[in-house]
A and B are shown apart, each in its own frame.
Chain A
Amino acid sequence: MKTMFHEYKNLKLKIMSKKTMLTILAVAAISFTAMSQKLVTSKSNIKFHSHTAAEDIDANNTKAVGTIDTKTGEVVYSVPMQAFEFEKALMQKHYNSPKFLDTKQFPKAKLTGKITNLSKIDFSKDGTYNVTVKGEMDMHGVKNPIEEQATITVKDGKVSTNTKFKIVLADYKVAFEKGKPSTNIAKEVEVTVNAEYITKS
């Protein structure tokens, strides 16, 4: 009788330890998912603005895809370059052409970076956070280091970002040698990015 009771107790212990194991596994799995939590945007607008005495040129692109990893601070943007739309058809043709951004050869631009002051941001709390993103931009087949300021806004659990920075076209080997475009396009172009994020499902 005693041994039977002993065995029963043993069995109970075994079952319990199995349960504990499962709980530990479940908790680990949940925290692992939380660790790699990514925010995704396909609702964004990227604007190029060029200002010269001759004229102002704007182009907009709403087709970029981007992610922010809230645990590591990694920021990624992939931009389909042919989706930039200009007011004038001729400008759009110039922009796409091999003389300028050569979008057939280089259909996507990519920004990869890291938020350097990630600890300042509480993604679960409403607020506006000023951040610095340090990384690299790959455009027209040329990679350059970047360090830009951006704003992350958390409102009602929704995350959006906003940034405005300048790029020097010559840094990306984009330059018109002569003719009208060389005088009408600024050497430095202002880029504005607005994006609304959702949690990756």
Chain B
Amino acid sequence: MNTTTKKRLKIIALLALTGIVIAAGVIIYLFNMPHRDVQAAAADYSINAEEIVTEYLKDALVANEKYLDAEGESKILAVNGVISEITEDYNGDKVVLLKSNNMQAGVSCTFTPETNVQTANLIVGDQVIIKGVIRSGASYDEDLEMYEHVIMEKSSIQ
């Protein structure tokens, strides 16, 4: 084996090694890819609670096309509305419902263990802007015999 072949082999081996390291890095990154930080991200839409509910009740297909993402990273909304109810979900996270009396459905916003504290001083009747990621739209369900709210999660007060 002459020196040029040796050199070539060395380079090939080095390139292969670099390739393997990069591939491993990408796989590890993808596998451990963090969830999107909704609180840190800017809102895609600033909208009134009434507007988005009306959009959904008018045409859910059009609204889903506009707000939902195929991989679940749906639009981040900053929703302006009046608080009609403050409850807790199964995990003990705060759920603030934005709904005026004239609305058939509202926007239900679930907070996180980190943002729950922001709801401590809120009372029914307060007007607030809540940012969160939309999970599903409002609709009338004839089996439930009731209106379902727009659902937002990862919520925080703006």
Contact = CB atoms under 8 A, between A and B. Distances in A.
A166 interface: no
A82 B135 contact: yes
A57 interface: no
Interface string B131-158: 0000111000101111010010100000
A82 B143 contact: no
A42 interface: yes
Contacts of A74: 143
B interface majority secondary structure: loop
B64 A104 contact: yes
Determine the interface band of chain A, counting residues with CB < 8 A from chain B.
35 or more
Given A65-B144, A110-B143, A93 B90 contact: no
B151 A80 contact: yes
B136 A62 contact: no
A45 B88 CA distance: 13
A44 interface: yes
B90 A112 contact: no
Nearest to B153: A83
Interface in A128-152: none
Contacts of B146: 40, 65, 67, 200
A107 interface: yes
Contacts of B121: none
A98 B151 contact: no
Interface in A36-56: 38, 40, 42-45
Interface residues of B, number: 35
Contacts of A44: 90
Contact of A104 (B69, B95, B108, B153): B69
A95 interface: yes
A82 B141 CA distance: 18
B51 interface: no
A78 to B, nearest CB: 6
Contacts of A108: 136
Contacts of A102: 70
B90 A194 contact: yes
Contact of A80 (B30, B31, B90, B136): B136
Interface string B25-37: 0000011111110
A96 B135 contact: no
Interface string B71-103: 111100000000000011111010100000000
Contacts of B91: 45, 62
Given A63-B151, A67-B144, A82 B72 contact: yes
Q: Which 10 A-B pairs have the closest CB atoms?
A: A96-B72, A80-B136, A93-B71, A45-B90, A83-B135, A82-B135, A76-B143, A62-B90, A104-B68, A104-B70
Interface of B: 30-36, 64, 68-74, 87-91, 93, 95, 108, 110, 135-137, 141, 143-146, 148, 151, 153
Given A108-B136, A196-B90, 15 more contacts: A40-B146, A42-B108, A43-B88, A44-B90, A62-B91, A62-B110, A63-B135, A80-B136, A83-B151, A89-B35, A92-B35, A93-B71, A96-B72, A103-B72, A107-B137
